[in-house]
Chains A and B, each alone.
Chain A
Amino acid sequence: QVTLKESGPVLVKPTETLTLTCIVSGFSLSNARMGVSWIRQPPGKALEWLGHIFSNDEKSYSTSLKSRLTISKDTSKSQVVLSMTNMDPVDTATYYCARIRDYMVRGVTFDYWGQGTLVTVSS
């Protein structure tokens, strides 16, 4: 059974760095043509892709947020970590991690999602 679960702070202050962890189970982060993406959704708004990391360690980031984002993985711990610096109230959103599978055939699509974690940025 494939599961993903996000964890991290629910409240961060402006200018702080957000660190979220996604623990995965039911698949390995080293499986070929797999990856994990981070996606966020401000309250009442649409989905926004933040970035992803593939099993071969290839990474890609949102062009508008690239300078603030870092995604890394620890295959032995089955976890993917998102770091976002200089948080602002506009970054208040539900943050999801999601699995990417067989991206050469399916495109970079997300077949399993975590439940999401709401992060509020406020002083």
Chain B
Amino acid sequence: DIQMTQSPSSVSASVGDRVTITCRASQPISSWLAWYQQKPGKAPKLLIYAASSLQSGVPSRFSGSGSGTDFTLTISSLQPEDFATYYCQQANTFPPLTFGGGTKVEIK
């Protein structure tokens, strides 16, 4: 199984801050990586697929980069509605498809 490790597990930030979340795969996955945002009590929302492609309707302050084993999700200027938990997911090798453990973005 491909293990997905996110860091940090939580981050405190202020509105307007630049926030970076990293995700590491236990073996190379090319660019087959997705990022999701989840707010409490809600289903996850797809933000990024294929490591850097922005899902339709997602604000451009979200961006993704990386390939192989190391990936990054960046929020360029944190907005109040961005406080949530973020998950990465490897999207090519299955079974099983695997998610990271999540990164909670909290208000500083």
Contacts and interface: CB of A to CB of B under 8 A. Distances in A.
A115 B44 contact: no
A117 to B, nearest CB: 11
A96 B87 CA distance: 15
Nearest to A115: B43
A89 B24 CA distance: 31
Contacts, number: 68
Chain B binding surface SS class: loop
B38 to A, nearest CB: 8
A106 B99 contact: no
B19 interface: no
B93 to A, nearest CB: 9
B97 A108 contact: yes
Interface string A58-97: 0011111010000000000000000000000000000010
Interface residues of B, number: 26
Interface of B: 1, 32-34, 36, 43-46, 49-50, 53, 55, 87, 89, 91-92, 94-102
24 contacts: A46-B102, A47-B44, A47-B99, A49-B89, A49-B94, A49-B98, A52-B97, A62-B96, A63-B1, A98-B43, A106-B50, A107-B32, A107-B33, A107-B49, A108-B91, A108-B92, A109-B34, A109-B46, A109-B49, A109-B91, A110-B36, A110-B44, A111-B46, A113-B43
